[in-house]
Structures are given as C-alpha cells and as structure tokens.
Amino acid sequence: MGERADVWQGTLALMVLKTLQALGPLHGYGIARRIEQTSGDLLAVNYGTLYPALLKLEQEGYISSEWGTSDNNRKAKYYKLTRAGRKQLDKEAREWEQTTEILARFLAPGKESA
C-alpha cells in the first residue's frame, strides 16, 4: 500500500461535518478514524490540524460539544452537528460539487468549450 496523503486544504471542515451528519455525535479520534476509513485509508488525519478545525467549527456554531465517556471508559469530548452546521454542510457540499465539475472540464481531454 502507498503512503497516505494528508487531508487536502479546505476539505477537512466539510469531511468533519459530513461525518457527524452520517454518524451522529463522535469524539475527535472517532471522527479522524471515520475520515480515514471513508477515504479507503488513502488520507491521514493529522491531530494538529483536526482539533483546531473542531474548535473553529464550534466557535462558528456549526458543531457543539460535551464531555462524555468513550467506549474504553475514558473521558472524551463528543462533537455533534448543529442546525447551522447542517446548513453549512449543504452550502459547502454544493460548492465542492461545482468545483469538481469545473475541474473535470479541465481534466477531460477534448472536452473544452468552444
């Protein structure tokens, strides 16, 4: 298996929001593992990037957190999507769909507009 890439700049927030939408409340480790699993283990989540992103999402009101106990009986902060987070997820998903459509035009040979 090849070397895993870091999460692409500008995509982590979208992946976190989508993960919380799909699975409900999770702690940081669970979010990171799910992102890596969903990528087919092609991406590596750097905790030095994840936790500041979680803090920023919480400050923006897109996620909320509360302390709980993890499966291995340790204290952990659980994050969940807020109503504003659902709206932001929809907005970001639309923007990324448009971005990938634009890039596909550049990458598809012979498909340039006249």
User: Which structural domain, as residue segments, surrounds residue 21?
Assistant: 5-107
In a domain, 39, yes or no: yes
CA distances from residue 37 to 31, 32, 40, 42, 44 in whole angstroms, order as listed: 10, 9, 5, 8, 10
The pTM of this model reads: 0.85
In a domain, 113, yes or no: no
Q: Which structure tokens are listed for 3?
A: 């070397």
Q: Is pLDDT above 90 for 52?
A: yes
In a domain, 28, yes or no: yes
Please give the share of the chain, as a percent, with pLDDT higher than 90.
79
Domain of residue 33, CATH code: 1.10.10.10
Count how many domains the chain has: 1
The reported pLDDT for the residue numbered 10 is 77
* Residue 88 falls in which region: left (phi positive, over 0), alpha (psi -120 to 50) or beta: alpha
In a domain, 112, yes or no: no
